[in-house]
Structure 1
Amino acid sequence: MARTREFDIDQAVDRAMALFWGRGYTATSLQDLTAELGIGSGSLYAAFGSKEQLYARALERYCSRNAGALIAELESATDMRSALRAALTAMAEADLDDPERGCFLVNAATERSADPATVDRVSATLRLVESAIAGALERAKARGELPAGKDAAGLARFLTTFIQGLRVMGKARADRAFLESAVSNALTALD
């Protein structure tokens, strides 16, 4: 008879996500994971298959939560410029609060750029963000918040790229004035 799992899978993924996010994939050992999750290696393998599969689930969780929150914010926004400024400022604040940790998506893209599954997850998430921004900009255009001649798809691509650059600059320890200036300048693209 198989043993009953004695730990919460969602909580384990959240704890693994925090560990991978803070240390990276390579610097996180199996021993680190089992200690953090409070389980043996056999339980980890039975539940997740491997360290790599657990990392994939942790990255998926991060992408789902963070991109999902941004998408929801953009979908409900009645003032696009304010919503974008708030979202970009929140990202900058997160990096000012903990620059070493940075953005898990950026960390994954840079550390695991040779791993096709990681690249696919990062790319899919960035496409979702870009699509959500484009949709929000189209709605803003329809409300008259954005000039009719603006290319919503092109602006969305620019802003998605800017977000990743902003997160890299945060990890590079850019100061508040730099990040605030960058956000303000990026938003001039909406004029």
Structure 2
Amino acid sequence: MARWEPDARGRLLRAALELFAERGYDATTAAAIAERAGLTKTTLFRQFADKREILFQGQADSVRVADSAVRAAPAGASALEALREALAALCDGHTPDHRDTGRRIAPIVATSPELQERAGAKRASIAAALQGALADRTGDVDVAGALADLGVRAYYGGFDEWVVGDEDVPLREVVLTRLDRLVAGVGGALAPSAGRRR
């Protein structure tokens, strides 16, 4: 008889993080993760396609949040304001527990090309959601793509900064500050030089 436990996905994540840290990603089996979590391997595969996906749970939610937040921004909002709304919504989905989880996941991903590739795919899926929603607002796929790239860079860079930081600063503040800095930096880089001939 299969064992049932509440919060199976959370239990599997905690077990996977422990085992990946102890044994390494490649040496850890799905069966070992399920056993450590007090669940059956069948339960693990009902929740996730493979052990890799345990670390990337929540991707579908992130994509949905990014898309819907851009679309829910006020009609008069600029594309940049809509992007800020989306990043704020993504940040608000993170709890203090996610900060600790991020600290534990980062070194595991850094040791595995397979996990790095999967992390890139998750990042690309969020960027694509932002680009699609922004393109519908602006009518310009290229501008939407450039904004989405800035947004994803701000979100992931801000998350990395938040994870390693000691200050009790909300993720939203870190990410939006980074976005503002990126936008200002790009604008400055594109501005004509004062000494350039006109």
TM-score by length of 1: 0.62
1:111 aligns with 2:111: no
- Aligned-residue CA RMSD (Å): 4.3
Matched, 1:89 2:84: no
> Structure 1 residue 27: deviation in Å?
4.7
Q: 1:26 aligns with which of 10, 13, 21?
A: 21
2:124 corresponds in structure 1 to 127
1:148-167 matches, within 5 Å, as: 151-167=143-159
| AA partner of residue 119 (structure 1) | Q
2:165 corresponds to: 173
1:170 offset after TM fit, Å? 0.5
* CA deviation map 1:48-83 (0-9, x unaligned): 48xxx7642322423233333323333444444444
What's 1:38 paired with?
Answer: 38
- The 3-state SS of whatever aligns with 1:5 is coil
1:101 aligns with 2:100: yes
Aligned equivalents of 1:94 and 1:60: distance in 2? 15
Letter in 2 for 1:164: Y
Residue 59 of structure 1 aligns with an amino acid whose one-letter code is L
Find the counterpart in structure 2 of residue 145 from structure 1: none
Deviation at 1:164, TM superposition (A): 0.9
What count of residue pairs does the alignment treat as equivalent? 172
Hey, what's the Cα distance between the residues in 1 that align with 2:4 and 2:95? 34
> Quick check: 2:66–2:90 contact (8 Å CA) kept in 1?
no
% identical equivalent positions: 14
Residues 131 and 137 (structure 1 numbering): CA distance in 2 closer, same or farther, change over 3 Å?
same
CA-to-partner distance for each residue in 1:134-177, whole Å, 9 max, x for gaps?
222222323xxxxx797322232222122110001101216539
- Kindly indicate whether residue 71 of structure 2 is the aligned counterpart of residue 72 of structure 1: no
CA distance 1:24–1:93, shift in 2 (3 Å)? farther
SS of the equivalent of 1:160 reads helix
Partners of 2:69 and 2:22 in 1: how far apart? 34
